[in-house]
Chains A and B, each alone.
Chain A
Amino acid sequence: MRRDTGIRVFSLGLFLLFWSSLSILMADPQVLPSPAQVFAEMIALWQQGKLQENLIATGWRVFAAFGLAMIIGCAFGYVMGRSDAVDAWLDPWLIIFLNLPALVLIVLCYLWVGLNEFAAVLAVTLSKVPMTTTIIREGARNTSWELRDLAAVYRLPLMTRLRHIILPELFPHIVSAARTGFSVIWKIVLVVEFLGRPNGIGRQIHTQFSLFDVTGVLAYALSFVVCILFIEFAIMQPSEKRMGRWRADAEA
């Protein structure tokens, strides 16, 4: 438990208070509903089953794009970090894709592939792969050549190397790639849904937007933020702690 937990909780309370007073000041729930109204809307949407349905639709897109981007990015990043020749060949491509706005990728994917699930996941994956590649490449460049030599001399099978040497060595970089990746991907997924999917949080925000329903926008947005925070605290942080055990033990 951090010593400043109290301050943090209090600060969060202040934010809700600020929001409430602003909504009282506005005196128009159409423009800014109070936290209670948004919460009530969330409950209502949950009871209608709409909230779960859209959360699941968005969640699976985030999950699929995240998984693909991590696997592809790690593979490219590792090879580029290891081989100067491959790096020289692929680096210009990487720079182009790094600087291609996600919005452009989304529009192009929809235009070329069609308004379907595959195009949606592809667009998100493509917009994230370059960042993952860059981070993993940096990690692969700094790995120990002595360990690699040792593995080669002892003729360790590829799977052993991957499991006991390559992945643990890259682990801190994989974590930071996953971290930035996750936070970027779920935002891009919303845009993808906004532009061309029949369901998902992004689509609902689009619908509520055309109805000028601020409460609806906030209800969907906040429930998704809650899910993201849950993943952060329940999955990301504990797994990071577990995998970094050997490091923590050394400091203790």
Chain B
Amino acid sequence: MLKLDLHRKSFAGQTVLEDIHLDLSQGDRIAVLGPSGIGKTTLLRIIAGLDKRFRGTCDAPDEIALMFQNPTLLDWRTAKENLQIFHPKSDEADVQNALRQVGLADKADHFPRQLSVGQQRRLALARCFLTPAPLVLLDEPFTSLDPSLRSEMLTLTRQFLDRSHGTMVLVTHSQDEAVALGASCYRLHDAAQSGAELVAV
């Protein structure tokens, strides 16, 4: 379902990623670990089809769900609208259901800035999982959360993934998160003089 053959990705002549190969089936979950600045986000953007300037091929499904470290909400639209705009095919009941699942059933008409940080994150999670996408890409969505919120988010994410049977690529620098989501770990290593490579942990 996801097949990536990345030979080289460079920025301004500098090789960032080199020889990365992924072949995932439906329901596979992997975590890509590594320190910041090693190119994890770049890798994710390539998989998402947002960055096409690399050497190699990437074969990914059309429907992808994506979540960042920041909730990245439309601050000028209500919680409900935030879900509807990204999932135009979902009906009122789907949206209400998604809000309920993340504990925001009574916040449908609130603007994101009226929500707490935790509520904003959960809204972003609801947006990510409202329509089950075959491929879910998570870019450090659990970083810089307080421990209770973090475990709550991880539990919700795991539930969503179990239900949707989606393939997941998580980018993070914490192995705990990978374990909590039942993902197999890969580490991005800074190969000397050249770009980073992917090594199974």
Do A246 and B111 touch across chains, with their CB atoms under 8 A apart?
yes
Interface string of B74-87 (1 = CB under 8 A from A): 11110001000111
Do A164 and B66 touch across chains, with their CB atoms under 8 A apart?
no
Do A146 and B70 touch across chains, with their CB atoms under 8 A apart?
yes
How many Å from the CB of A93 to the closest CB on chain B?
27
Interface string of A240-252 (1 = CB under 8 A from B): 0000011101100
Asked if B113 is at the interface (CB within 8 A of a chain A CB), the reply is yes
Interface size classification for chain B:
20 to 34
List, in ascending order, chain A residues with CB within 8 A of B85's CB. 156, 160, 164
Asked if A150 is at the interface (CB within 8 A of a chain B CB), the reply is yes
Do B68 and A146 touch across chains, with their CB atoms under 8 A apart?
yes
**B113's contact among A155, A165, A250, by CB below 8 Å, is which?**
A250
Interface string of B37-72 (1 = CB under 8 A from A): 000000001001110000000000010111010101
**A249's contact among B45, B49, B50, B113, by CB below 8 Å, is which?**
B113
How many Å from the CB of A80 to the closest CB on chain B?
22
Do A246 and B75 touch across chains, with their CB atoms under 8 A apart?
yes
Docked complex Cα distance between A246 and B75 (Å): 7
In the complex where A149-B50, A156-B85, A249-B113 touch, is A165 in contact with B74 (Cβ < 8 A)?
yes
Asked if B88 is at the interface (CB within 8 A of a chain A CB), the reply is yes
**A153's contact among B66, B74, B81, by CB below 8 Å, is which?**
B66
List, in ascending order, chain A residues with CB within 8 A of B75's CB. 246-247, 250
Asked if B194 is at the interface (CB within 8 A of a chain A CB), the reply is no
Asked if B114 is at the interface (CB within 8 A of a chain A CB), the reply is yes
Asked if A233 is at the interface (CB within 8 A of a chain B CB), the reply is no
Docked complex Cα distance between A152 and B50 (Å): 7
Do B50 and A250 touch across chains, with their CB atoms under 8 A apart?
no
Do A149 and B66 touch across chains, with their CB atoms under 8 A apart?
yes
How many Å from the CB of A71 to the closest CB on chain B?
21
How many Å from the CB of B192 to the closest CB on chain A?
31
Do B66 and A249 touch across chains, with their CB atoms under 8 A apart?
no
**B64's contact among A147, A153, A165, by CB below 8 Å, is which?**
A153
Interface string of A119-134 (1 = CB under 8 A from B): 0000000000000000
Docked complex Cα distance between A146 and B45 (Å): 11
Asked if A13 is at the interface (CB within 8 A of a chain B CB), the reply is no
List 17 additional contacts besides A168-B77, A246-B112, A247-B75; criterion CB under 8 Å.
Answer: A144-B72, A146-B70, A149-B45, A149-B50, A149-B66, A150-B66, A150-B86, A153-B48, A153-B50, A153-B65, A156-B86, A160-B88, A165-B74, A171-B76, A246-B113, A249-B113, A249-B114
Question: Would you give 7 A-B contacts (Cβ < 8 Å), ordered by A?
Answer: A146-B72, A150-B68, A153-B65, A156-B86, A160-B88, A246-B76, A247-B113
